[in-house]
Structure 1
Amino acid sequence: MSRFKCYRTNMMTDHPTPTILVLAGKRDGKLDPLAERAGVSHKAVVPIAGRPLIGHVLQTLEAAWDDAKILISIHDPSVLEDVEEVKRLKSAGRLEMTMAQHGIVESVEAAAAQGGFPLLITTGDNVLTTVDALRAVNAAGHDRGADAVLGLARREDIQAAHPDGQRKFYEFKDIAIANCNIYWLRNEKSLQAAEAFRDGGQFIKTPGAIRKAFGLWNLIRFRFRMDTLYGAMDRLSKRFGVRVIAHVLDDGRLAIDVDNERTYRVTEELLAADA
């Protein structure tokens, strides 16, 4: 058995319920191309399979824990007023809005001050996320004594889910992965790990961001695939002063979010196959 399957979570084990943060603001304050095409101001309300992107996400979050507080970080909360899942969760006292800030890290910090820890973070376009994945990342943080957890999927699992699901991957000595837009932070100190995303976190799209976030030596090691995935996590932990771990999930669909026209089409196909 691959050693990347050794952290599978026993869903019967009880773990503290996290506060859940959904990042649904505008990146750099700009109108997203998919939102522009759909004639809406925020990508989170772009329709897919009969409902807004964020509606799919919230339905899954609602099912993951029946007592979790959910925060939505967005620049204009009024755009969500007609989303059925938002209305239902608000009525149940489970959902609050938090104002999106200038950057991702600032938005996370503001939400953490409002909602507390542990904090499970996902995005408003993470339509294919699942209850099992969310619970697994939360459990990994507690069971493995982490300060921060990154939810990841293997290249082969992503390509098996859909050949066009992802085209670029982070490649290490032992594995190629993509992120699943599921992150977990234990406490306020864990926010130190979020510093890597201070300038947006688009590492594959903007390689120079890797050097700025992680340092030249770590960039060199990454470029030449000198580290295993878990070796790289150890290096990041030392850089940020908190224990950062990778949790590799078996479902490749989890690394496919609605990021552009291609992944919109892919996600639409996968949702149709589930119907």
Structure 2
Amino acid sequence: MSGALTALVLAGERDGRLDPLAADAGVRLKALAPVAGRPMIAHVLDALAASHRVGEIRVCVNDGAGLGELPEVRRLAAAGRLRLAPARPNLVDSVLAAVEGAAFPVLIVTADSVLLTPDAIAEFDIAARRRGAEVAVALARRESVLGVHPDGQRKFYRCSDGAFSNCNMYWIGEPTALAAAELFRSGGQFVKHPMRVVGALGLRGVLELVRFRFGLSALEASFRRLSGRFGLRILPIVISDGAAAIDVDHARSLRVAEEVLAFRAGQRPALAAE
């Protein structure tokens, strides 16, 4: 496999729902809410644009949200590196429509991953290619996350070989691997409707999720069994930068992200020592 990544940034909102961070900031879209004085998606676009592994950037966003007026978006669009893709009523359709005609592999990230760096992108991409993944999921160890900031995350997936946090960063090697997304089309709210889990993953998949949830299985073993259910080689890639697992979802994580950005800019002492 060769070629630059196509990066897809998920920046849309559910129709009719205004995110609390957007409401507090007086903007129409969470991706436009300020983090360290800039719209949060600007930080993500900076990392993608600076990555030598990323070619085209696509941003999936609701029509009329105003994101296209950002200087960062206009500059990248004028350079031929960025295009906007309208969000669809659900996440699966949004992703499938946004990557239509894209060059693979595709890297999927979220607009609130403001601590993403070119180094983290490279580490993830290199590992996914080297290991022959069809689909890859980026995770970070608990120790790495809390080493970046002591309040970086509060919830982790506990496995028999450690605790991990999802980095909201996904790698799709070929168009055929997008078939895995269809399994989640009817998934909805799994916690409220557990029978949908059975429909989406099958009973063996549910049992594996139970083992994963209660730390009864090693990380790689869990993904091997789920790969069998999907019929795809889905791999967990544990990256070294725990900051990639810190996204901006609420006031606490906004504070954490701004403190990490200030530390990177040399405006704060080491955070992990606090």
The bucket for the TM-score relative to the shorter chain is 0.7 to 0.9
Q: Report the CA distance shift for 1:248/1:130 in structure 2 as closer, same or farther (over 3 A).
A: same
Q: Report the CA distance shift for 1:187/1:211 in structure 2 as closer, same or farther (over 3 A).
A: same
Structure 2 distance, partners of 1:185, 1:29, is: 30
Corresponding position of 1:75: 62
Aligned-pair CA distance for 1:84:
1.6
Aligned-pair CA distance for 1:201:
8.4
Q: Please, which of 236, 241, 245 is the counterpart of residue 246 of structure 1?
A: 236
Q: Please, which of 151, 169, 178 is the counterpart of residue 138 of structure 2?
A: 151
Aligned-pair CA distance for 1:103:
1.9
Corresponding position of 1:10: none
Q: SS where residue 72 of structure 1 aligns?
A: strand
TM-score when normalising by structure 2: 0.87
Q: Report the CA distance shift for 1:105/1:250 in structure 2 as closer, same or farther (over 3 A).
A: same
Structure 1 distance, partners of 2:41, 2:101, is: 21
Determine if contact 2:105/2:171 at 8 Å carries over to the other structure: yes
Name which of structure 1's ranges 60-69 and 265-274 shifts more when overlaid on structure 2: 60-69
Q: How does 1:1-275 map to 2 (within 5 A)?
A: 15-27=2-14, 30-65=17-52, 68-76=55-63, 78-195=65-182, 197-198=184-185, 208=194, 213-214=200-201, 215-275=205-265
Structure 1 distance, partners of 2:66, 2:138, is: 29
Unaligned runs of 5+ in 2: 266-274
TM-score when normalising by structure 1: 0.87
Q: Report the CA distance shift for 1:212/1:252 in structure 2 as closer, same or farther (over 3 A).
A: farther
Number of residues of Structure 1 aligned to a counterpart in Structure 2: 261
What do you get for the CA RMSD once the two structures are aligned? Answer: 2.4
Name which of structure 1's ranges 123-132 and 21-30 shifts more when overlaid on structure 2: 21-30
Q: Report the CA distance shift for 1:62/1:244 in structure 2 as closer, same or farther (over 3 A).
A: same
Q: Report the CA distance shift for 1:66/1:187 in structure 2 as closer, same or farther (over 3 A).
A: closer
Q: SS where residue 81 of structure 1 aligns?
A: helix
Unaligned runs of 5+ in 1: 1-13
Q: SS where residue 146 of structure 1 aligns?
A: coil
% identical equivalent positions: 48
Aligned-pair CA distance for 1:95:
0.5
Q: SS where residue 246 of structure 1 aligns?
A: strand
Q: Report the CA distance shift for 1:119/1:66 in structure 2 as closer, same or farther (over 3 A).
A: closer
Aligned-pair CA distance for 1:72:
0.2
Structure 2 distance, partners of 1:129, 1:196, is: 28
| 1:176-227 deviation per Cα after TM superposition (whole angstroms, max 9, x unaligned) | 1011111100112211333465468888x87957666544312332233221
1:161 counterpart letter in structure 2: V
Structure 2 distance, partners of 1:243, 1:24, is: 27
Aligned-pair CA distance for 1:15:
4.9
Corresponding position of 1:6: none
Structure 1 distance, partners of 2:64, 2:104, is: 23
